[in-house]
């Protein structure tokens, strides 16, 4: 089965895809993309001011212990502001499977007040090849526990960061 480069989450408003979708001027034009959230470090042409596309980069690696949680409020705010203004958003990572899916699930959690399990189910129904790593799944649960505002003052976030630091220290 061939995977698509982009799938619809909210018709005409929110799309989830991979780096190829973000780099394809045809794909961006056909969907009238006005905003892009890049959850990776790879450059895309839409980052250039002359593209006319508003861009947010979230520099998170595709590893279980990467802290995507701290970026979720900013990403959700960016998406929400774009959608409310009538914009169309593409959220992508390199493969369009895990990091970008986590951001989209977080957005659904915030805006629809649904739990992590329901948000992940809705994202999977829209893009069947997504895969939420154990680490990103846990961070979506923590996102809800932190009331969508993870910070150094949230004990759930602090505890998770301490566990990750201890785990990484044990690997060295």
Domain count of the fold of the chain: 1
**What is the sign of the dihedral through the CA atoms of 21, 24, 28 and 30?**
negative
Asked whether residue 138 is domain-assigned, the answer is: yes
Q: What is the DSSP letter of 66?
A: S
Does 73 fall in a domain?
Answer: yes
**Residue 98 maps to a domain:** yes
- pLDDT at position 1 is 36
Residue 1 resides in a domain:
no
Supply the mean pLDDT for the chain: 92
Confirm whether 22 is domain-assigned: yes
* Dihedral in degrees, nearest 10, Cα atoms 32, 36, 41, 44: 30
Average pLDDT over residues 54-61: 95
CATH number at residue 47: 3.90.190.10
pTM: 0.93
Q: Span 123-152, mean pLDDT?
A: 96
* pLDDT score of 172: 55
Q: Which of 40, 76, 93, 146 is catalytic?
A: 93
Residue 93: active-site member: yes
């Amino acid at each position: 089965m061939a995977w698509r480069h982009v799938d619809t989450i909210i018709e005409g408003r929110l799309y989830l895809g991979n780096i190829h979708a973000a780099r394809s001027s045809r794909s961006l034009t056909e969907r009238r993309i006005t905003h892009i959230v890049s959850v990776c470090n790879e450059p895309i042409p839409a980052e250039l001011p002359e593209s006319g596309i508003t861009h947010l980069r979230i520099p998170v690696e595709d590893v279980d212990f990467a802290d995507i949680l701290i970026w979720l409020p900013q990403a959700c705010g960016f998406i929400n502001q774009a959608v409310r203004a009538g914009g169309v958003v593409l959220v992508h990572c390199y493969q369009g499977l895990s990091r970008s899916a986590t951001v989209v699930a977080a957005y659904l959690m915030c805006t629809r007040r649904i739990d992590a399990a329901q948000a992940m189910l809705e994202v999977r129904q829209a893009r069947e090849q997504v895969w939420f790593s154990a680490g990103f799944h846990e961070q979506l649960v923590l996102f809800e526990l932190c009331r969508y505002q993870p910070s150094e003052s949230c004990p759930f976030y602090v505890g998770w960061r301490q566990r990750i630091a201890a785990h990484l220290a044990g690997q060295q």
